[in-house]
Amino acid sequence: MTSLSSASVSPPKVAWWKRLPVVHQLRQSVGLQRGMLIAGLIIVGVFLLVAAFAPWLAPYGYSQLKDADGNFGAQQPPGGDHILGTTVGGYDVLSRVIWGAQTALLVIVVAVVLSIFLGIALGVISGYIGGWLDRVLVVIADAVYAFPSLLLAIVAAIIISGGQSNLWSGIFSAAVSITVVFIPQYFRVIRAETVRIKSEAYVESAKVVGTSSVRIMSRHVLRNATRSLPLIFTLNASEAIFTLAALGFLGFGIEPTSAAEWGYDLNKSLSDVTSGIWWTSVFPGSAIVLVVLGMTLVGESLNDLADPRLRTRKRASGTPAPAAETTVVPGGSIESAADIAHLEGRP
Amino acid sequence: MSTVVDIQNLAVTFATDGTPVRAVDGVSLNVQAGEVLAIVGESGSGKTVTAKTILGLLPSTATVSGVVMLGTNDVVQVSGKRLREIRGTDVAMVFQEPSTALNPVFTVGWQIAEGLRAHGKYSKKAARAKAIEILGKVGIPEPAERVDYYPHQFSGGQKQRVVIAMALVLEPGVIVADEPTTALDVTVQAEILDLLRRCRDDFGAAIVLITHNMGVVADLADRVAVMYNGSVVEEDNARSLFANPKHEYTQKLLGSVPKLGTGLAQTQARAAARPIVEKDPVVVADNLVIEYAGRFGRPGFRAVDGVSFKIHAGEVLGLVGESGSGKTTIGRTIGGLTKATGGSLMVLGREMRGIRERDFKPLRSDIGFVFQDPASSFNPLLTIAEAVAEPLLVHKKAGDVAAARPRVNELLEAVQLPRAFGDRYPHELSGGQRQRASLARSLALDPTLLIADEPTSALDVSVQAKVLELFTELQRDLGFAALFISHDLAVVDLLADRIAVLYRGKLVEEGTGAEVLGAPQHPYTQRLLASLPVPDPVEQAERREVLRALREAE
């Protein structure tokens, strides 16, 4: 215990992949929180795989109405060639559900990419510079917040698609309308963090040195302000799916000939429900519920794990490590205290 | 005397994200009725955890073994219901930070009455009468009126009195006081210590005093237990412990406490060795006024009010004052973080009043700044080498971090840190090491002026002693002028050539250490000096009398 001081201060190095955002939290979690996180990750993983391999997984195309044997026929019950039946329009339900995952993923990616950069940039600038710019941006963000988001999304969808609807314009209209709603969210979170970080001593010490505002924002504020983003990201992704489905359900989504879309299918199956045709609504509906549930589980677990007060830990067992090994005293054990200069890390 | 608390072989282990941490390891202590037991130790020694165990206040991540007998109850074993009955009636707690221990939305009378109602039937009237009585006893003036005040209407010291009143109201056998004066100014600290002494003498309560301040221990404690790394290394009555410490760690701890008067010889030697050039001062403040803007229509807050002083090249000026005296504001204004609003402040020959950032930027390379809290003054995502290289990069003295590395290594060695520490992240360093790195960063550009804002107040005494020594060495070798801001007279005495005392934004006294500390002229300086507890129970008892006489004279 005589020469441990400088070595014992630094924690053991952890492999790089174990420090990745989600992997780190997964290793950190225990009990119910771990169960929630794993369940969420499995659902999200399945969703991603299905989206990526849709062309191979789906038995038919999303807009396919007939094969070599002729038309599929409308509202066929599950079984036979169509495991989950067909819709009122004559599409294969299973194929539509699988292809729908792809559309949903594209919308999430486009929406988040569009909103995250603008939101973060505006948040950092507004929070750091402050003054009238900050006030104006906050008022605008609040106004967008106060506006019913779905209504805004509908207006954006109409403007962008201009009444036409193909895959990309559909995806973009959904994504952009979601973006409009999301930017204020990212903006607010990042701005709040920036305002907090702005008064931290390390930003002041950068100022005292004469660092330019741009450098302070990019080097000191930005990276520290974005630590809570994985949480908002997962929570927003689930909201993106909701908005897309709602748009489709209201009839502002993507035409069935351009892409598969769960909300659209739900809308078309409305009349089926009362006539006992359950398969056209249950499957796209549960797809939406499952994916949103998975994303929310991941997001909420990450949120809980990020807060040391909410994080559950394994109870310490009866025989813990000796105190001296893990002490937080600047220095080490009594033995090495014999030479305080040594404790302080002098070579 | 009867034993009120008996701790046998206590061990507390915390579950963490990593390996479990044993915070307390086999501690046995007892507290007799009507005595003050001080538990002393540096941060991480387990003193607060030990004290919290007495009240059963540990978080759910803690695993406790051993016996803590409080009267006839074993706190470790009893049920939650019984524990609630014990708390307040048998044992009470005084917290460190009085402004967070009181609920801001209720009157203090209500908060005192709440404790009463939890332990018996009191009518509203009776509870109120009792609250008024206890507030009067702890020295709150006009208690009948102030019982209806909210916490924010009291000063810090008065708030701590209210917290003590809440602890006393049920007449507990034991009061656990966790750093009860750490958040308070020295002059207020002396008053609270007097009150705690009365708790023992008039109310007969035993007090478990948790503190890191040896002066406070000398002032109040009957018996002292010194903790280190979760164990009690020495336990003795106060007088013999201070006169004759047996354990090596206790000796080190006592040796590290800065004492008034020791700086005198050092300062004189330094002054003799290096004649101060009187002609070109680095900083000249002339009737300096600094105001913080008020809200709509309200007048601003005048933090600094007509202060004049000079810092000559190569000179260390110690700026002393209590919280709110404006000492930090002056330091920030010289560093260009706050604007001067009146009078004149010349820094390195440039007028600071109304200066624009663009004009000031070239000067910034001549000014170094060391911040109070080493934990927050480093960007957690940059390594130490990157952080120390920042000033060099900003002022284009080096192209990138790699190019700056030789100079960074040089700086790290100058502050006695191994080179390899450059590759570590701030959280991997201890507080003292971080403050050294902070010193290295502030010296990166060879400044002519260094502003140190309470650089050691967040550190433990043994670490503080080392950092101060390093500061003195560096100052002697590099010859920069320094403004050293501190609330601790003893620390300033150690290294300042001249001392300036601030009181409520005004400069009340300025002179060499011998003048200000040896023969203080202003009554405030006299009171400040007398309030400072010294780590020697015999001498402290005498000083207490002096302070009492001084207070009565006012």
Q: What digits encode the pLDDT tens for the residues B331-342?
A: 989 988 888 888
pLDDT at A335: 39
Q: Rounded to a whole number, what is the distance in Å from the CA of A120 to chain B's nearest CA? A: 18
**Residue A302 resides in a domain:** no
Whether A334 sits inside 8 A of B228 (CB atoms) is yes
Is A310 touching B (CB cutoff 8 A)? no
Chain A residues inside the 8 Å CB shell of B13? 316, 320
Average pLDDT rounded to a whole number, residues B284-295 = 85
pLDDT digits (tens, 9 = 90+) for B414-472: 888 888 888 888 888 888 888 889 989 998 888 999 999 888 887 888 888 888 888 88
Q: How many domains does chain A have?
A: 1
Q: Which of B361, B428, B445 sits opposite A9 (nearest CB)?
A: B428
Best mutation target, A14, A334, A344, A346, to test chain B (most B CBs within 10 A): A344
CATH code of residue A150: 1.10.3720.10
Chain A residues inside the 8 Å CB shell of B462? 331, 340
Average pLDDT rounded to a whole number, residues B238-266 = 82
pLDDT at B266: 67
**Residue A326 resides in a domain:** no
Higher pLDDT pick, B215 / A28: B215
When pLDDT is cut at 50, 70 and 90, the band that residue A347 belongs to is very low
Q: Which residue of B has its CA nearest to A315?
A: B15
**Residue A344 resides in a domain:** no
Identity of the residue numbered A199: S
Whether A334 sits inside 8 A of B233 (CB atoms) is yes
Handedness of CA A127, A132, A136, A139 (dihedral sign): positive
Whether B21 sits inside 8 A of A207 (CB atoms) is no
Q: Rounded to a whole number, what is the distance in Å from the CA of B335 to chain A's nearest CA? A: 6
**B271 SS3 class:** helix
Higher pLDDT pick, A326 / A54: A54
pLDDT for residue B61 is more than 70: yes
**Residue A182 resides in a domain:** yes
Chain B residues inside the 8 Å CB shell of A344? 416, 430, 432-433, 436, 463, 466
* Element containing residue A155 per DSSP (H, E): helix A149-161
* High-pLDDT (> 70) share of chain B, %: 95
Q: Rounded to a whole number, what is the distance in Å from the CA of B393 to chain A's nearest CA? A: 9
Whether B335 sits inside 8 A of A208 (CB atoms) is yes
Q: Kindly report the backbone phi and psi dihedral angles of residue A221, in degrees, each rounded to the nearest multiple of 5, phi listed first.
A: -85, -50
Whether A330 sits inside 8 A of B431 (CB atoms) is yes
Dist. CA A194–CA A221, nearest whole Å:
6
Dist. CA B160–CA B194, nearest whole Å:
12
Dist. CA B95–CA B20, nearest whole Å:
27
**Residue A173 resides in a domain:** yes
Average pLDDT rounded to a whole number, residues A117-145 = 89
State how beta strands B316-320 and B498-503 pair.
parallel
Best mutation target, A29, A208, A304, to test chain B (most B CBs within 10 A): A208
Is A209 touching B (CB cutoff 8 A)? yes
pLDDT digits (tens, 9 = 90+) for A198-207: 888 888 888 8
Is A257 touching B (CB cutoff 8 A)? no
pLDDT for residue A330 is more than 50: no
List domains and CATH numbers for chain B.
Answer: 1-84+174-255 (3.40.50.300), 91-171 (no CATH), 261-366+447-519 (3.40.50.300), 377-446 (no CATH)
pLDDT for residue A176 is more than 70: yes
Whether B61 sits inside 8 A of A334 (CB atoms) is no
Say if residue A259 is exposed, middle or buried (CB neighbours under 10 Å; 0-12, 13-18, 19+). buried
Chain B residues inside the 8 Å CB shell of A214? none
**B248 SS3 class:** helix
When pLDDT is cut at 50, 70 and 90, the band that residue A136 belongs to is very high
Q: Which residue of A has its CA nearest to B439?
A: A205
CA atoms within a 13 Å half-sphere pointing along the CA-CB vector of B554: 10
pLDDT digits (tens, 9 = 90+) for B373-400: 888 888 888 889 999 998 999 888 888 8
What b/e string do you get for B231-264 counting C-beta neighbours within 10 Å, with b at 16 or more?
bbbbbbebbebbeebebebbebbbebbbbbeebb
Higher pLDDT pick, B166 / A75: B166
pLDDT for residue A343 is more than 60: no
Helices (H), B298-375: 327-334, 357-364
User: Which residues contact residue A121 at a Cβ distance below 8 angstroms, ignoring those fewer than 6 apart?
Assistant: none
Tell me which residues of chain A, numbers 15 to 74, contact chain B at a CB-CB cutoff of 8 Å: 28
Q: Which two tokens stand for residue A14?
A: 């952890």
Tell me which residues of chain A, numbers 68 to 87, contact chain B at a CB-CB cutoff of 8 Å: none
Dist. CA A82–CA A75, nearest whole Å:
11
A vs B: CB pairs below 8 A:
167
pLDDT for residue B359 is more than 80: yes
Q: Which residue of B has its CA nearest to A224?
A: B381
Average pLDDT rounded to a whole number, residues B213-231 = 89
**Residue A38 resides in a domain:** no
When pLDDT is cut at 50, 70 and 90, the band that residue A239 belongs to is confident
Higher pLDDT pick, A163 / A12: A163
Q: Which two tokens stand for residue B247?
A: 């354990």
Dist. CA A117–CA B511, nearest whole Å:
57
**Residue A174 resides in a domain:** yes
Asked if residues A26 and A41 have their Cβ atoms less than 8 Å apart, the reply is yes
Is A227 touching B (CB cutoff 8 A)? no
pLDDT for residue A280 is more than 90: no
Average pLDDT rounded to a whole number, residues A287-314 = 80
Average pLDDT rounded to a whole number, residues A256-281 = 82
When pLDDT is cut at 50, 70 and 90, the band that residue A316 belongs to is low
pLDDT digits (tens, 9 = 90+) for A42-55: 999 999 999 999 88
Q: Which residues pair with B178 in a beta bridge?
A: B210
Dist. CA B236–CA B37, nearest whole Å:
10
Domain that holds residue A203: 57-292
pLDDT for residue A159 is more than 50: yes
Whether B21 sits inside 8 A of A313 (CB atoms) is no
Chain A residues inside the 8 Å CB shell of B14? 316
pLDDT for residue A13 is more than 70: no
pLDDT for residue A329 is more than 70: no
Q: Rounded to a whole number, what is the distance in Å from the CA of B331 to chain A's nearest CA? A: 11
Dist. CA B238–CA B125, nearest whole Å:
43
pLDDT at A134: 92
Q: Which of A205, A318, A347 sits opposite B371 (nearest CB)?
A: A205
Dist. CA B310–CA B292, nearest whole Å:
23
pLDDT digits (tens, 9 = 90+) for B524-542: 888 888 888 888 888 888 8
Identity of the residue numbered B275: P
Q: Rounded to a whole number, what is the distance in Å from the CA of B199 to chain A's nearest CA? A: 33
pLDDT at A321: 44
Is A331 touching B (CB cutoff 8 A)? yes
Tokens 């501190």 found at: B486
The interface pTM score, or ipTM, of the predicted complex is 0.73
The rounded mean pLDDT for chain A is 77
When pLDDT is cut at 50, 70 and 90, the band that residue B200 belongs to is confident
Chain A residues inside the 8 Å CB shell of B391? 209-210
Q: Which residues pair with B320 in a beta bridge?
A: B486, B501
pLDDT for residue A237 is more than 70: yes
Whether B21 sits inside 8 A of A320 (CB atoms) is yes
Chain B residues inside the 8 Å CB shell of A345? 416-418, 421, 429-430, 433
Whether B376 sits inside 8 A of A330 (CB atoms) is no
Average pLDDT rounded to a whole number, residues A118-139 = 90
pLDDT at A163: 62
Dist. CA A140–CA A183, nearest whole Å:
11
Q: Which of B428, B460, B466 sits opposite A10 (nearest CB)?
A: B428
pLDDT for residue B225 is more than 90: yes
Average pLDDT rounded to a whole number, residues B263-286 = 70
When pLDDT is cut at 50, 70 and 90, the band that residue B483 belongs to is very high
Chain B residues inside the 8 Å CB shell of A9? 428-430, 433
pLDDT for residue A281 is more than 60: yes
Average pLDDT rounded to a whole number, residues A175-196 = 85
Chain B residues inside the 8 Å CB shell of A347? 418
**Residue A248 resides in a domain:** yes
Chain A residues inside the 8 Å CB shell of B229? 323-324, 327, 329, 333-334
Average pLDDT rounded to a whole number, residues B285-291 = 89
Say if residue B122 is exposed, middle or buried (CB neighbours under 10 Å; 0-12, 13-18, 19+). middle
pLDDT for residue A333 is more than 70: no
Q: Report CA-CA distances (Å) from A309 to A306, A312, A332, B59, B376.
A: 9, 8, 28, 10, 21
* High-pLDDT (> 90) share of chain A, %: 10
Asked if residues B42 and B214 have their Cβ atoms less than 8 Å apart, the reply is no
Whether A201 sits inside 8 A of B369 (CB atoms) is no
Whether A201 sits inside 8 A of B252 (CB atoms) is no
Dist. CA B499–CA B514, nearest whole Å:
9
CA atoms within a 13 Å half-sphere pointing along the CA-CB vector of B340: 28
Q: Which of A215, A331, A345 sits opposite B417 (nearest CB)?
A: A345
pLDDT for residue B412 is more than 50: yes
pLDDT digits (tens, 9 = 90+) for B85-127: 888 888 888 888 888 889 999 999 999 998 888 888 888 889 9
The rounded mean pLDDT for chain B is 86
Dist. CA A64–CA A90, nearest whole Å:
9
